[in-house]
Amino acid sequence: MNQDVTVLVALDYEHLGELELAWPLWAAHRPEIMEHQILFLCDGRESPGWWNRKISPVVQHPYMRVVPVDPIPGVSQRHLMLSAFVCEASQALRTPFWIKIDTDAASVERRPLYEQEWLQAMRDDGVVFVASPWSYTKTQQNWRDLQAWAATKPELRDKPEVPGTFGNKDRVHHKRIISFVMLGRTDFLQQCRELVGGPFLPIPSQDTVLWYLAHRLGLPYKRERMTRYGWRHGRKHLKAALAATQQPKPDDVPGWKAGG
C-alpha cells in the first residue's frame, strides 16, 4: 500500500452514477490507484455502512474508507460537501499528500495517477498543491464574502490582498486554479482548517478558498493543465471516454442524470 498519497473523492447520491462511470476509466488508465488508500467523503444523511454497500461493488478497493459529512442546520448540502475536502479530510488523512479527483473527471489515456515531479516539488520546494489553471471566480458575492471573512482573521490582515477584476456573467477574473484533479499537502489542509476554525468553509468553493489562502499566505503552488496528463472534466467527456472503451452507456447506469 502506498504510504504517501491518499485519493480523495466526495460523494452524495446525486453523483453516485458518475462514480460508476468514472471508476472503470480511472482503474484502467491509472491502475496504481488500487495501491493507494482512497477516502470517500460521503453525505452523512446516509450511514457509512449504507455507503460501503453502494461503493464497494463499484470500486472493489482493498484500502477504502468512508468518512461521513454530517448535516448542519442552515448550511446547504453542497456547501458542506465542498467544505469536507478541507474540514473532514484534514482530520481523516493518514498520508502526507492527497489527490482529489472529482466524479466527473474522465481519465482518457494511460498515464501515472500523478507526476512524481509534482510530489518532489511538494517535498523539496514547499509547493502546497498542483492543479489546473483557471481564470475566474464565481459568484461576485462569494468573492466579497471571502474577502470579508479574511478581514476578520489576524493571520491575514497584514498579508497582500489577492487581485481580482469584476467582469460580466457574475465573475471575478484572476489567475487561479480549478480542482477537478488536484494534488496537495495534508499539512496545508490542516493549516487551512485551523484558519477556518469551524466545520465549513466561508464560501461554498473549496478550490477558491485553498487558492486564496495559499496566495494570501505567500505559499508556492503550481498550475499545471491536467488535460496534458490525460484528464478531462465534465460529463460529456465521461460519455465520450466510455463510448471509446465500450463501457456501459450512461443511460444504463443507476443514478445517472441525463443532460449534464
| Residue 132 · residue 181 · CB < 8 Å | yes
DSSP three-state, residue 179: strand
Q: What's the average model confidence in pLDDT over 124-133? A: 98
CATH number of 5-126+178-197+223-252: 3.90.550
CA count, 13 A, side-chain hemisphere, 236: 1
**pLDDT confidence tier of residue 239, bands split at 50, 70 and 90:** confident
pTM beyond cutoff 0.75:
yes
Answer yes or no: is pLDDT of 54 > 50. yes
| Residue 48 · residue 39 · CB < 8 Å | no
User: Residue 6, Cβ neighbours under 10 Å: how many?
Assistant: 23
**What pLDDT, in 10s, does the model give residues 157-169?**
999 999 999 999 9
| Dihedral sign, Cα of residue 19, residue 48, residue 198, residue 130 | negative
Residue with cell 450511514: 47
Average pLDDT, the chain: 94
Q: How far is CA 111 from CA 72, 122, 123, 183, in A?
A: 39, 20, 22, 15
Domain ranges of the chain: 5-126+178-197+223-252
User: Residue 170, Cβ neighbours under 10 Å: how many?
Assistant: 14
Buried-exposed string 29-68: b where 16+ CB fall within 10 A, e elsewhere: bbeebbebbbbbbbbbeeeeeebeebbeebbebeebebbb
Give the C-alpha separation, 163 to 169, whole Å. 18
Answer yes or no: is pLDDT of 252 > 60. no
Q: What's the average model confidence in pLDDT over 14-29? A: 96
Query: Cα torsion at 140, 134, 123, 219 (round to 10°)?
Result: -40
Percent of the chain with pLDDT over 70: 94
Answer yes or no: is pLDDT of 256 > 50. no
Distance of CA 16 to the CA centre of its chain: 16
Percent of the chain with pLDDT over 90: 92
- Closest listed residue to residue 231, CA positions, set 49, 103, 126: 103
